[in-house]
Amino acid sequence: MNYIGIDLGTSAVKLLLMQGEGRILKIVNREYPISFPKPGWSQQNPEDWYQETIAGIEELLEGSDKSQVAGISFGGQMHGLVVLDEEDKVIRPAILWNDGRTAEESDYLNQEIGQETLAKYTANISFPGFTAPKILWMKRQEPENFARIRKIMLPKDYLAYRLSGVHCTDVSDASGTLLFDVEHRRWSQEMCEICGIQEGWLPRIYESYEAAGTLNPELAAKLGLSEQTVIAAGAGDNAAAAVGTGTVGDGACNISLGTSGTVFIAAEKFGADRFHALHSFAHADGSYHLMGCMLSAASCNKWWMDEIIGTKAYGKEQEKITRLGENHVYFLPYLMGERSPHNDPDARGTFIGLTMDTAREDMTQAVLEGVAFALRDSLEIARSLGISVTRSKICGGGAKSPLWKRILANVLNLKIDVLENEEGPALGGAMLAAVACKEYASAKQAAEAIVKIKETVEPEPELTALYEERYQQFREIYPACRQLFEKLK
């Protein structure tokens, strides 16, 4: 049988058709707009997600045997606030994960409610991108809209609802709302009370690999699919990417270089970061994970190439970079503020160290290295907790760059395993659909059968030593700029 994985990203939806044994038959990408109505704000229209997804499914299945499609599942951008009224109509544009408007609400949760209280209820503290502070913002700034709320959903779960008619979410995506008791895998009644919402407004919780429903009959007829097509709950994008890269089992690590960047470390048992710099979430394979998340990763390189240099020739620009570990230009990759480990929505992108002999390629190199240094910040937190990581899988758009992978291997001092298929959340979604349809007994079994490593990028001792010195310098830049960022906001 065949399975569809839907990766609902920030700028586009990626749809993937996979045979049961893991062979990818076709991939389709469809873009939709994102709006920035005020500095630091980030919104999208959920209807755009749905329309492009349906058009994408139709394109994906052109010329194929539609009767072979057994299941559909998702990986999706996390933390976004989608609110529906009593008729299940969208009340306002979705407030996205990289939206920074909720600094005051997040501060209230961390300072007035208290970080230790939040960690007790949810295993995490508040970050401006999380869903709970968005709810508090809406309650304070848009009381008329807040009064209309009857359902609170996450982006991919809105798609699942439109496809199946079921209000559902999964444990990994729910973990990023700050409304979820991660350890016990249930909604937190205490957090609902703090945010002034009813638990009945929240969707039913499933494990990521569980069937939440089936394709609604009207849509099945439109798409030419069976009404028995399973809609599996799916996972947040990073947990779905972890499944798609085989990052299951205790201590397995994955680095994602997408719009955002993450260091994802799987764990069999529940555990939380005592420093509150890393997220402690439920994993799509039925276990748990720790994750450090930076808000701008590959998007920093896209911004630099597209908006500043004005080129789409990413590879050509990187060909000019030959002196790794010797760059004296540094870049703070905080174009949308930063989450892990600083939790600072006011942080901004910064170049430092420019001189008259600084060349274009030095600044390009600084962007790539800045993202790698920022990812290492999260890895260092994990290491301080006694977690040993010696190698990592990699996925995301940035993973297509050989240079960037080499930089990462040496900045992080990790072996970087490169996969035959680097499709991340879309592949993970298809694999979760296959588990929901009983093609595999578990996400781990699916990963063992499907995910293959094609090469490993090894750290180079001399280069690792050079980058160690530069990383220690990089670590001093943000603390020196922090007060200035606050004044500039």
39 and 179 share one domain: yes
> How far is residue 308's CA from residue 132's CA, in Å, rounded to a whole number?
35
Nearest 5°: CA angle at 117, between 114 and 123? 115
β-pairing, 43-44 vs 24-31, is unpaired
The pLDDT tens digits for 35-55 are 999 988 999 999 999 999 999
The pLDDT tens digits for 463-480 are 999 999 999 999 999 999
225 and 253 share one domain: no
414 and 391 share one domain: yes
Distance between alpha carbon 353 and the CA centroid of its chain, in Å?
31
User: Length of the chain in residues, anyone?
Assistant: 489
Number of domains in the chain: 2
Cβ pair 123, 182 in contact under 8 A: yes
Largest CA distance in the chain: 66
233 and 255 share one domain: no
Cβ pair 251, 387 in contact under 8 A: yes
DSSP SS3 for 74? strand
CA-derived radius of gyration, the chain = 21
Closest-CA residue to 254 (of 394, 401, 406, 77)? 394
Residue 58 confidence (pLDDT) above 90:
yes
List Cα–Cα distances, 12 to 50, 174, 306, 472, in angstroms: 11, 22, 17, 36
Domain end, chosen from 180, 204, 238, is at: 238
Cβ pair 14, 422 in contact under 8 A: no
- Residue 435: inside a domain: no
The pLDDT tens digits for 240-281 are 999 999 999 888 999 999 889 999 999 999 989 888 989 999
Instruction: Find the distance separating the first CA and the last CA of the chain, reported in whole Å.
Output: 53
Residue range(s) defining the domain that contains residue 230: 2-238
* Residue 422 pLDDT level (bands cut at 50, 70, 90): confident
Closest-CA residue to 409 (of 376, 437, 384)? 376
The pLDDT tens digits for 133-183 are 999 999 999 999 999 999 999 999 999 999 999 999 999 999 999 999 999
- Residues recognised as catalytic: 237
Domain end, chosen from 238, 269, 289, is at: 238
58 and 180 share one domain: yes
120 and 180 share one domain: yes
Q: Tokens at residue 151, please?
A: 């359902």
Q: Tokens at residue 220, please?
A: 């099945």
- Residue 298: inside a domain: yes
* Residue 415 pLDDT level (bands cut at 50, 70, 90): very high
Domain end, chosen from 238, 259, 277, is at: 238
